Amino acid sequence: MIQNTAFKTTRALLGIERVLLAGQPSSEAGALEGVFRARGITVSRARTARDALVAADTFEPDVMVIHWSALDVVGPKFIGMMGDLNLAYLPFLIANAAPFDLPSGDRDEALIAGADMVMAGAPKGVELDAILSVAQRRRLRDRAMGDSMKRVITRLEDLQKRFDSLDSDLSEAKKLQQGLMRDRHLHFGSGDVSLILRSSGHVGGDLVGHFPINDDAVGFFALDVSGHGVSSALMTARLAGYLSATNPRQNIAIETLDGAFVPRSPAAAVADLNTLVMEDLDTDHYFTMILGYFEPEIGKVTFAQAGHPHPLRQEADGTQEYVTVGGLPVGLIPGADYEDTVVTLAPGDRLLLLSDGFTEATISDGSFLGEDGLSRLLEASRHQVGPALLETLVWDLSAALGEAAFQDDLSGVLLERLSNPKT
C-alpha cells in the first residue's frame, strides 16, 4: 500500500497521466499495463497502426510505447505517419521490442525515424520511473517551446497587422503626395511645362510643381529634401504650401505690382525660404531646389539654383549644354546668398531639370550614370517631347540599372519652347 502511494506520488510529480501501448502482444501488453496502472496511470491499447493513430489523436497520450516489430506497419513508416498527422511531437515515443529481436541496424533506424528511446524488453521499476522522468522533461520542454512559438506567432501576427495598417497609410500618403503635383503637363501657346515624380518608396523627399503667375509667365520648382520616407515627405508638403498654385498671395515666389501679380526674383524667394527653414521650421532637414519662372512667348527662363543638379539645355539641333550656376542648399547656412540666372530658349529648345536620382543612379556596371550618361539618354530620345520624353528617360534609366531597383527618388521638370506653337 505504501509502495502504491509512492508510485502515485511519482506519477503526480511527473505529470504522466495517460500511456498508449501500440502493437504489443497481449501477454506483454498486459504486463506493461499492470506496471503503469500501479502508478495510477491510465492505459489505452492499440493493436494496429490505424487504431494507434486514432488513439493518439483522441486519447492524447503523454507517453506512447511502441512494439517496433509487432505493429502491422513497419516501425519507421508508422512514426512517419504520426508526423504527417502532426502527432509525433505530442507523445514521448519509445520503441520497444523483446530482447534480441531488434537488430542494431533497426535500432538506429528507429532513432532516425523519430523514436526518442529504444529498449529491449519492457521497462520496470526504477528504470521505468527514469524513463517517465525523461518523458516528462521532454513534454515540458516541448510544451514550453510550443508556448513560446505561439507567443512568437501571435507577435508576428500583431506586427503583420501593424505593417498592413502602416502600408495602407503610406499608400494613401503616396496618393496625397502625388496629388501635390497639379497638371503634369501644362500648355502655354508657345511653350509646354511637363512634370514627373517617381518615389523609390511609398513616399519620398522629391517634389516638382508649377504655378500660374500671369498671362505671360508660369512659375516652376524642383526640390529634393534630405533623407527619405515620411519625415521628408511631410517636409515637401510644408514647402508646397509656400509655393501655392491656387492662391498667388500665399506664394513666396509671387508679388503684387500695381494690382497685378508678377514674379519675384527667384533668388530673393529662395533666400526667404532659407530664412524660414533656419528660423521658423523646427527641422534638421535641408533641401536642394531650383525655383524660377518661364515666359514662353519670348523663351525666357529665369531661375535660382540652390544645390540642385545643373539644368540641361538641349537646342533644336540636339546640341546640349549644362547650365552650371551652383548655390548652397536651403536650410544649411543662415543668410546664404543666391543669384538669378537667365536662359533664353529659341523655338525647338528645351531645358531639363532633373533630381540627382538620375545622375547618381548606380547602373549595371557599378558606376554612376552621371551627367555624361544623362546626356546620352537625352540624345537617344531627342525626338520625344513633353511627358513622353520624361517617361522614356525613366524607362531607359531602368534598363541601364539592370536588375537593380531605383535607389533614390526621381523627379523632373521639362520646359519646352515649341517650334510650331499650338493654338
313-333 pLDDT, tens digit per residue, is 999 999 999 998 888 999 999
For residues 358 and 371, the answer to whether their CB atoms sit within 8 Å is no
Among 357, 259, 325, 243, smallest CA distance to 291 is for 243
pLDDT at 2: 40
One fold for both 2-148 and 180-417?
Answer: no
Nearest 5°: phi and psi at 96? -120, 145
* Extents of the domains making up the chain: 2-148, 180-417
pLDDT at 9: 44
The domain made up of 2-148 has a fold known as Rossmann fold (3.40.50)
Residues recorded for the chain: 423
Q: Average pLDDT for residues 125-146, to the nearest whole number?
A: 69
What residue ranges in 217-371 does DSSP mark as E strands? 218-225, 254-257, 260-263, 287-295, 300-306, 312-314, 320-322, 340-344, 350-354
Asked if pLDDT for residue 108 goes beyond 90, the answer is: no
Asked if pLDDT for residue 3 goes beyond 60, the answer is: no
For residues 297 and 216, the answer to whether their CB atoms sit within 8 Å is yes
* 166-199 tens-digit pLDDT: 656 555 555 565 555 667 788 887 999 999 988 7
pLDDT at 219: 95
Question: Can you identify the CATH homologous superfamily of domain 180-417?
Answer: PPM-type phosphatase domain (3.60.40.10)
For residues 409 and 228, the answer to whether their CB atoms sit within 8 Å is yes
Sequence-separated (6 or more) residues with CB below 8 Å from residue 277: 283, 286, 287, 330, 331
Mean pLDDT over the full length of the chain: 79
